[in-house]
Structure formats: structure tokens, C-alpha cells
A and B are shown apart, each in its own frame.
Chain A
């Protein structure tokens, strides 16, 4: 018994002492999945000589962990950079004073389309994802494919369509964008239709895409990155950019910002500038998940379409960020 205690206490000491630190390190909190983020960060580490200590959110927590952690750590910040896989929570953190303006702005910031960056220079968008309809091609013939998010609430698809329970992640951002864009009656009709049409409500976009690929759901609304993963597995799926003759397809960028009072502000700047570079967008475009470059002229695989090649939905992410909390509360009550 004593031996066991001694061994474990020795382990405890060894692990406790293996703590990181120092100016050669940048602490990054990211809601992107770790392998994708690592594809970019490995290159940055090689080229800059800085080490990136990464804390990634898990799908289970859907950004709540990182957002709450950043807020709770506000008195003694531990992170240098926040890389969010969407924009709404970045705006929430900006409003809470957790993030700070980069002055002077990072190199190449002017090339980012204005819709995808903060006018005050606090956060910047890059490497986006489109909100697409993923369709099982075995179950839905080409002539009968859905073309609009309104197909989710069309009674002819009753019990066959799916949308992630809209209280987190990009689906919450999407519904908040609809709330900001559609007339109130139309927004209400859409929400009521999801319930009336018995849409399936899986817990995440990856799960939804998989369910469509397996044929358990005919089609659903998901992120282009999740569609690509399922397609790469050889499952019979296709992606449709919805509402090309109307509202347009929502494009949600990754966003990056510096944490106010973080331990390594200069390292943070270097990492942000790298993430906003054409190089980083190219890596993410060629990654399995196929992120959409936002800067013009970035190399990409032919199947990764960029805004301009399809009609995009016009949204104001600052308004979405300001509104998302109220929508989350409403949607949690409406999809109990």
C-alpha cells in the first residue's frame, strides 16, 4: 500500500512539474477541432519558432467551455489568442471586454471582405464554412432535391429532414441570422414549421451529416466542412447551396482576436497575422474539411466554392452577436 502511494505521488509530482510557460509560447484557445487547427499551427511553429499551446473545445461543449473560461479568466487572463470557429461568440466576448483591438491592425487585413471583419479592428474573419443542405443521393433523386432551407418545413418532407437542435454552434448563428433577416412572420413560420414537420434534431452538425450519409435522414442543414468529411468516407451524399434564387447561402467565417491582458501580446500578434495570411487559408482550404478562403486569389481545391461563385446571405455579425443570447433562450424554450 505504501509503495502504491509513493509511486502515485511520484507520478503526481512529475506531472505537476511538467507545466508550460515562457515568452516563446503562445496560448491559443480555439473552438475548432484540434487536428484541423494543428494543420495550420504546425507550420506556424516551424516558421516562427514560437510554440503554440492549444486548448480546444470539444464538440460536447460547443464553445460554451471556452467562452465561459475566457470570461471567468478575465481577471487573470491565461490565453493570448481566441480562434473561434464562428463569429457570434467572438462578438459576445468583444462586448464583454475580453478581447482587444489590434493596433496597428494585422498585416493584410484590408483584403478581408468587410462583412467578415470587425469595423473596430478587434476580430477578423478567415477560412469560412457555408451552411449547406446535405442530401442522401440514394434516397433523393436528382430531380427531387431540396433547393432551399424552406424545404425543411415543406410537408412533403415530413419526418425526413433534419436540423441540429438550434441552441448552439453554427445552427444557432444561422437561426439568429434568419431572425435578423426575415420578416418576423416568416421567421415564426420557419420555426413553427420545423416542429410541425417533425424535423429530426441531432446534437451536432457532424452527427447530422453522418445520419444523412447512413440514410437515416433524407436531407438536413449542416456545415460544408461536415458534408466534406462524410463525402470523403464514400457515403452517398451531395451538398446543395440553398436559396440561390433568394436569400442566399449563409457563410460563417472562423474568427480570431487577441485576448486583452494575455501573457504574450507580441506572440499573439504573430499568430493572428499568420492565421489571417493567404498561406493559412490555403492550408485550411486543402484540409479534409475544405474551409472557404475569404481573401481573393488563395489557392484551393476546385470543389471548394468561394463567395461570388454562389450567392451569399447578407448578414451583420455584430448584430448577430448582440442578438444570439436572446435567440438561444427563445430557441431552448421552443425546442424543449
Chain B
């Protein structure tokens, strides 16, 4: 009989508690709402047999495929240039790219429309593309941080710079595919961008329109069923990405030496131009358009003061939500047994794959209890809802960091008598810190942007993004633009902190 090491009981307890909380705030509301499909099987079947649903699903799939066809190469190349070459001001470029993530796609759409009156399929691709590219780029950069000098030298010996580029792009693939899967999840669930960008000319409707129509018609079972094809596609994409991410070998060994950066030489100017084009489309153009529409800095200040309560609420709840989500993800990834970890990963995918309106209904059913009135009518439900929904987003960079840490480091500590919790605190957590920060920032950004799941939640209406959307009703670009700029400035704060402290490019974990 083996003797349990002191502190291991605490680790198991902590893991169990984290798993329980993660389940309660993440998949449970979705499963509760999706259960309507089982309660009304006829309604669900009719929804699935509706040719219109499949036509719209195909339309969504076509948009998603086209967006990824743009975002994957652009994001991969941008990541490689920023992480592996001596391009000037890499942190500034990275921050500019990441900035676009903080604006909801509808605001991107409004900014492009007000500047250039773009519309139609091309405009939809552009808007979703500029939001999806940073997803791919940021996560691919995390993967590229683990390219070692030995790998680099071998590739160079085998085939020169071309082989280095191709080899390292393959190395970046797990991160890039995770980014693409996340981007696809958001494109598939979005139901406003296509509608807004086809205000004039032929209308394009998407799968989310069918789900929305069923919700509007109060057919919950049909809505849950109609969301199934997109949800399964997202789950498959996330599972593939997670497999790639978790399969990789570890790279943080005692003698790990990062690969040297490549000199761009004559390619410097074209590369800079390409980056400028990408960052310009993703961030500079939308923000410039918003700034012009806002009219004056005074208008932005007025918008900030008018919405001070909302800014405080949004910032605090998003920060708390990101902390809760990343803490849960880190505990589960570091302490749970490998098999349970995979199961938990799948469960974390569920809230992201589900239709946000379905999530919202589930949240009401779970939280609107007499004993939980304090939580349901206050900020707690907002914090838990966003932490649950974006658990995976916070978890992916942490999982990426974990995959690159040599398990031998922890084993050595355990052999030396350290308890699991102690080994986690003294070895894993310090090595994971940059990955945790990236995960926190991504979870924070998405918690800030959230409106869909809040549609149903009374407390969620206090969020800044909800007010932003409420302004769309006026079709007043000046007020909307001022508020959007305030929103972006609020969002950019953690990004600037991250960029200034750790950077997103080169740390080892």
C-alpha cells in the first residue's frame, strides 16, 4: 500500500472543487437549455429537417471557410514575422493587431461602413477576417516561442531559410489552428454582422438567424436543435485544435535555448508594409473611422463620463471573470489527471460552441432561484457567465504553456518529496506565468465584448458592450463612435500592461 504524500489530498480537493465550479458555470446552463430539444423532440426534428436551416448553415460554413482562408495564412505569416524575425517594434505591432480583438465585430462593421460604405459578401469577409487574423496570429506566436536553436539549426542545414520558414510555420500550426477554431466559433455564432453589412443589396442570412427566429417564436426545442450543426462543427474544430496543441512534445528543458531571430535584410520594407496593411485594416482604420465619426475628443470624454458606472462595472466584472476562468483552467490543467483533463477540455468547449441565446436561457434557469436572488440580480451571475463561456479561451494558452514544460521537472520535484500542490506552486506556476497572462488577457477581452449571453440577463445590461449595441438603435454614428472609442480604451489597458511587462512574443512558456 502506497502512502499518500502530504499535501496531495489538498491538491485533489482543489481539483475537484475547480472541476465542480467549472461545470456549474460553464456547461451546466447550456445543457439545461439544450435539454429542451429532448423535451420537444418533434419540434427539434422539424427544425433539423427544415431546408432553410441547412441553406443558412451552408452560408455560414462558406463565410467561415472564406474567413479562415484569409486569416490562417495572414495570421501565420504575421506571427512568424513578429516572433521569429528582427522586425522593428514587434511589441507595438502585436499590440496593434491584438487591439482589433477588443472591438465586437458589429462595431468593426459600423466603422468600415461609415468610412467606405462597404457592403455584401466581401465586406462580411473583411470584417470577420480582421477580427479572426489576430486570433490566429497571437496563438501561433505562442507556439513559435518554443522553437529551439537546435531545431532552427537543423532546418537551416537541411534547406536554408526556406526550410526554416516552412518548418517553423509547421511548428506554429497548433497555435494557429486553435486560433482558427476559436475564430470559427465566433463567426458561426454571429448574427448581426452579415445582417448589418447586407442592409443594401442582396440579403445574406446565416445559421444564427434560424436559431434567433426559433427563439423569437418561443420554440426553445427547435432553437436548441437548430444550433446543433454549428455547435458540432465548432466542437470538432476545437477538438482537433486541442489535440494538436496537447500532442506536442515539451520544449522547456533544462538546456532549452531559444532559436535566434532571422534577419529580414532586403525583405524588411515589404514585411513592414505587409504588417502596416494588416494592422491598418485590423485596428488603425476602424479606430480612425470611429475617431472621425466621434467628432471631437470632448465627445469621447463626455461619453466616458456619462458611462462611468458602466465602465466600472464592465472592467471589474471582466477582470474578475478572467481571473476566475484562468484560475480554474490553470488548476485543472496542472493538477487533474491526464484523462480527466481531456474530458474537462471537451466540457469547456460546450459553452463556446452553444448558441449564446441558448446559453442565456440556461443561465436564467440555473441562476434565477429564490436563494440565489443576490447573485442573479447582481454582478455575480455576469462574472460566472463570462468565466464559464470563455473558460476555453483562457485555457488554451495555459494548455499551450503546459505542453511545452518538461514533465521531468515536476517529476524530479515529486521524487524529492514535494507534494503536488507545492510542485505546482514552486515549479509549474512560475513557468506558466506568461501563458497565464496571455490567457487572462484573452479571457478579459472576450468578457468585455460579451453581449449575446447577456441578452437575457438583467444584470448584463449594465455592461458597456450592451450600451454600445443599444446605441445602434439610433443609427447615430457620432454617439456610437465615441462610446466605441471609450470601450476600446478601456479594453486596451490590460493589453498595454501585458505588452509592457511580458510581451506576447518571446517568453519561453
Contact = CB atoms under 8 A, between A and B. Distances in A.
> Do A and B interact?
yes
Contacts of B199: 200-203, 207-208, 211
Contacts of B322: 8
A18 B200 contact: no
Contact of A69 (B52, B364, B467, B469): B364
Contacts of B474: 33, 206, 229
Contact of A15 (B213, B316, B476): B316
Interface residues of B, number: 69
Contacts of A209: 475
Interface string A65-89: 1011101110110110000000000
Contact of B192 (A15, A60, A201, A217): A60
Contacts of A91: none
Contact of B377 (A9, A21, A75, A230): A21
Interface SS majority for chain B: helix
A333 interface: yes
A336 interface: yes
A110 to B, nearest CB: 33
A210 B470 CA distance: 16
A61 interface: yes
Given A20-B377, A202-B200, A329 B213 contact: yes
Contact of B203 (A9, A15, A33, A165): A165
A56 B55 contact: no
Nearest to A17: B378
A77 to B, nearest CB: 9
A58 B466 contact: yes
Interface in A147-181: 162, 165, 167-168
A4 B502 CA distance: 14
Contacts of B192: 60, 203
B456 interface: yes
A325 B217 contact: yes
Contacts, number: 179
Contact of A19 (B52, B200, B312, B379): B379
B80 interface: no
A9 B320 contact: yes
Nearest to A206: B475
A223 to B, nearest CB: 11
Nearest to A89: B216
Contact of B319 (A11, A21, A162, A202): A11
A60 B451 contact: yes
A16 B380 contact: yes
Contact of B472 (A76, A206, A216, A329): A206
Nearest to A73: B368
Interface string B331-347: 00000000000000000
Interface string B221-238: 000000000000000000
A62 B375 CA distance: 26
Given A58-B466, A200-B199, A325-B218, A15 B473 contact: no
Contacts of A328: 213, 216-217
Contacts of A162: 200
A15 B218 contact: no
A165 to B, nearest CB: 7
Q: Which 5 A-B pairs have the closest CB atoms?
A: A12-B320, A19-B378, A59-B473, A202-B199, A206-B475
Interface of A: 1, 4-5, 7-9, 11-12, 14-21, 27, 29, 33-34, 55-56, 58-62, 64-65, 67-69, 71-73, 75-76, 78-79, 92, 162, 165, 167-168, 200-204, 206-211, 216-217, 226, 229-230, 233, 325, 328-329, 332-333, 335-336
Interface of B: 52, 55-56, 106, 117, 192, 195-196, 198-201, 203, 205, 209-210, 212-213, 215-218, 312-313, 315-317, 319-320, 322-324, 327, 357, 360-361, 364-365, 368-370, 373-380, 383, 429, 433, 436, 440, 451, 455-458, 461, 466-467, 469-470, 472-476
